Structure 1
Amino acid sequence: MTPAARIQAAAELIDRIVAGEAAEKALTTWGRTSRFAGSKDRAAVRDHVFDVLRMWRSTAVKGGGEHGRARMLGLLRLRGIDPDTLFDGKGHAPAPLTEAERAAGRMPDGADAWDLPDWLADRFRSDLGEAAGPTALALRERAPVFLRVNTLKCALAAARDRLAAEGVETAPHTLSPTALEVLSCARGLVRTGAFTDGWVELQDAASQAVVDLIPPEGAGRVLDFCAGGGGKTLALAARLPGAALFAHDADPGRMSDLPQRAARAGAKVTVTRQPEGAFDLVIADVPCSGSGAWRRAPEGKWRLTEDRLTDLQSIQADILATCASFVAPGGCLAYATCSVLAAENEAQVARFLAERPGWRRGPSRQFLPSDGGDGFFVCCLISGRA
């Protein structure tokens, strides 16, 4: 496919998304039915579609319309690319621009420039203050790719050297002593020996920093209550090699490959459907808006509603209450979200502590995309029960 044909394919896929089809479904169906598209074509088209999803409002404003062609036109203009070099009608390229298209479009401002729904733009202003604008703008860009070096098997320098020998350039990152930012060949990572031998795992740097912040003292029995795919579970296993580590999730299917990944990493993890007994450390990385990770899943910011946010807060409070019952006296409950919204973060912590006078607040931090990774929040809640 030519670069112009990729633009046309992305525009057609965006039209399907505008009509209500999920982006991943549209891309998967297109990839299966477009035998002419090679792996580089599919990757390029996917990048175009996700760039538009991250910049849904500003591309429409700059392109002068809501449909796929206008949004791709807007994306090119925002990127400083002359649309006439791609909208030339040759082969499978988009048709040349009309005079009306040339005249349409303006520079986005306000919530359009931030690429947020109006109600979320208001939340960002009230919750983040001066950081609202930089955070919103950061979420319009592609996320970096990070690796976590598995210290059960190697040191960071050794992992970096091995990756370099396999053609993958990396750099250490200040958010975590185990984090490497991938600078080249990100799409070939899973085929490297460093990955298949369990030396490195794909994990955002801020997600690693969340685990780094949790106090390790006295953590003999550890429960990852909302384990999901197991990224933080394996990070905990490397940080607490002597601990008995248990992983649980309300949807056990999400942990289906965790035993295999743990074996590859040289970690011992017990997957449990029903946790039993008391734990010195419980981590609850709860379901949330995902607002801190909208660079990776940009549809989320357009699908989130105020009612859904309220529902999520109720779910989070229930999970916190359940997890508190598993914490041993003097133990730690690490509450975490990949959200930048106060309603899911500080407000939940304040409610929890107000209802449980015997508990106290330990280390906490709000990570923002401006720190280099995704947006995360973590607060360690210490049990004072005798």
Structure 2
Amino acid sequence: MTPGARVAAAIGVLDVILAGEAAEKALTGWARGARYAGSKDRAAVRDHVFQALRCKRSYACLGGAMTGRGLMLGALRDAGESVLPLFSGDGHAPAPLSVDEATGGRAPETDGERLDLPDWLLPLFRDTLGKRAEAAALALRGRAPLMLRVNVRRATRDEAIALLAEDGLAADPVSIAPMALRLDEGARGVANSRAFREGVVELQDGSSQAAMAALDLTGAGRVLDYCAGGGGKVLALAARADAAFFAHDAAPRRMADLPARAARAGVRVQLLENAREAAPYDLVLCDAPCSGSGTWRRNPDAKWRLSAERLAELGRTQGDILDQAQAMVASHGRLAYATCSVFHAENEAQSDHFMARHPGWREILRRRWPIGAQGDGFYLWVAERR
């Protein structure tokens, strides 16, 4: 595909998303109908679409319309790229600009347009983050870093770097977590690398790694990841200690790949349909469902789909999960609560409400990681049963 054809494909996908389709579903639908598109073409179209979604409001201003065509026109203007060669109408490129398109568009004016946030979310960002709110919103306009976690059961960090280099992947150590590496290029080659196939590295965000490294596993003979999902966090914990590790998820299908991932990593994780039957545990981790606002660089569609009603529903779910999990913690055991949200309502407020409901607990850790060059926005809270 030519660069113009890739832009045209992105325009079509964006129009489908703007009509109400989820981004991943829209991209999958396009790919199935575009058998001619190679892997680089699909990756380029995906990059166009995701960047346009990250900056949807500001690009619509610059492009003069909240349409796929307007968003891509705004993206090119924002990047300072020449528009006419891509909107040429030649081959499969988009049709040439109309007079209104060529002369239209304006700079973003309101805070919501400039920061690429829905207006109703601006107060939540400001109330939670204060002076850091604008920096957080602007960080969500760019791509997230690609972070790897070195599995200490397989290799040292230096050995992992050398092994990745054999496959042409340049990884650099970073400070956010002890075993964290960052890749600036070659992201799509990780899954085919020897380091990945042999369990030396796993894909895991830097803040998530840091949070798991901050959990004290001393004396924790039995550890439950209560909202395990794909299992990345329980694998990070299992790499650090010799203990009995268990994983549970309300939707068990999310854990389908976990046995194979654990085997590749050289650890054992037992999957549970009913976590209560194997209780008590010395540590229960609740990586609760949340808005994902700290990760909107990776899933920008979610930024525009979140509603106040959905945020309130998530808050009730988070409280219920904590109430369920605390009953499975052993005497003097610990309960850990984590989200990839930046909002106070999903983080500190949940911790405070739990302590008010359950006075038999002692808080021992409360920490945030900001959206940054080494990781997403993340929150961790730990309490100990008295």
TM over 0.5: yes
Letter of the structure 2 residue corresponding to residue 70 of structure 1: G
CA contact (8 A) 1:288 1:337 kept: yes
Distance 2:47 2:294 in 1: 20
Corresponding residue for residue 323 of structure 1: 325
Corresponding residue for residue 128 of structure 2: 127
Distance 1:96 1:219 in 2: 64
Corresponding residue for residue 151 of structure 1: 152
Distance 1:307 1:371 in 2: 31
Corresponding residue for residue 180 of structure 2: 179
Residue deviations 1:65-91, cap 9 Å, x none? 011111100011111112123112221
Corresponding residue for residue 277 of structure 1: 279
Distance 1:362 1:104 in 2: 56
Is 1:339 aligned to 2:333, yes or no? Answer: no
Distance 1:36 1:309 in 2: 41
Corresponding residue for residue 297 of structure 2: 295
Secondary structure of residue in 2 paired with 1:316: helix
Identity %: 53
Q: Point out where structure 1 has 5 or more consecutive residues left out of the alignment.
A: none
Corresponding residue for residue 35 of structure 1: 35
Residue deviations 1:263-298, cap 9 Å, x none? 010001111111222111110000000101111111
Secondary structure of residue in 2 paired with 1:227: coil
Q: What is the deviation of 1:94?
A: 1.4
Corresponding residue for residue 139 of structure 1: 140
CA contact (8 A) 1:363 1:379 kept: yes
Q: List aligned pairs for 1:152-171, cutoff 5 A.
A: 152-171=153-172
Secondary structure of residue in 2 paired with 1:307: helix
Q: What is the deviation of 1:334?
A: 0.7
Corresponding residue for residue 20 of structure 1: 20
CA contact (8 A) 2:145 2:373 kept: no
Corresponding residue for residue 69 of structure 2: 69
Q: What is the deviation of 1:352?
A: 0.6
Secondary structure of residue in 2 paired with 1:90: coil
Q: What is the deviation of 1:184?
A: 2.0
Corresponding residue for residue 236 of structure 2: 235
Distance 1:331 1:285 in 2: 17
Residue deviations 1:93-151, cap 9 Å, x none? 11222221122111113111111111111110111101100100111111111111001
CA contact (8 A) 1:189 1:195 kept: yes
Residue deviations 1:152-195, cap 9 Å, x none? 11111100100011110011111101111012211011111110
Distance 1:278 1:35 in 2: 52
Distance 1:337 1:166 in 2: 34
Which residue of 278, 292, 313 maps to 1:311?
A: 313
CA contact (8 A) 2:144 2:373 kept: no
Corresponding residue for residue 100 of structure 1: 100
Letter of the structure 2 residue corresponding to residue 258 of structure 1: L
Corresponding residue for residue 6 of structure 1: 6
Q: What is the deviation of 1:368?
A: 1.3
Letter of the structure 2 residue corresponding to residue 137 of structure 1: L
Q: Note the aligned Cα RMSD (angstroms).
A: 1.0
Question: TM-score, normalized by length of structure 1?
Answer: 0.97
Q: What is the deviation of 1:372?
A: 2.4
Residues matched between the structures, number: 383
Q: What is the deviation of 1:371?
A: 5.8
Distance 2:264 2:372 in 1: 33
CA contact (8 A) 1:293 1:375 kept: yes
Distance 1:287 1:79 in 2: 35
Letter of the structure 1 residue corresponding to residue 132 of structure 2: A
Residue deviations 1:27-70, cap 9 Å, x none? 11111111221111111001001111111111111111011111
Question: TM-score, normalized by length of structure 2?
Answer: 0.97
CA contact (8 A) 1:213 1:364 kept: no
Is 1:79 aligned to 2:76, yes or no? Answer: no
Q: What is the deviation of 1:205?
A: 0.7
Residue deviations 1:232-274, cap 9 Å, x none? 010010012x111011111110001111110010001111111
CA contact (8 A) 1:134 1:370 kept: no
Mean alpha-carbon deviation: is it higher for 230-239 or for 350-359?
Answer: 350-359
Distance 1:165 1:30 in 2: 35
Q: Point out where structure 2 has 5 or more consecutive residues left out of the alignment.
A: none
Letter of the structure 2 residue corresponding to residue 208 of structure 1: Q
Q: List aligned pairs for 1:189-268, cutoff 5 A.
A: 189-240=190-241, 242-268=242-268
Moved over 4 A (4+): none
CA contact (8 A) 1:252 1:273 kept: yes
Mean alpha-carbon deviation: is it higher for 112-121 or for 337-346?
Answer: 112-121
Distance 1:318 1:16 in 2: 36
Secondary structure of residue in 1 paired with 2:181: strand
Letter of the structure 1 residue corresponding to residue 164 of structure 2: L
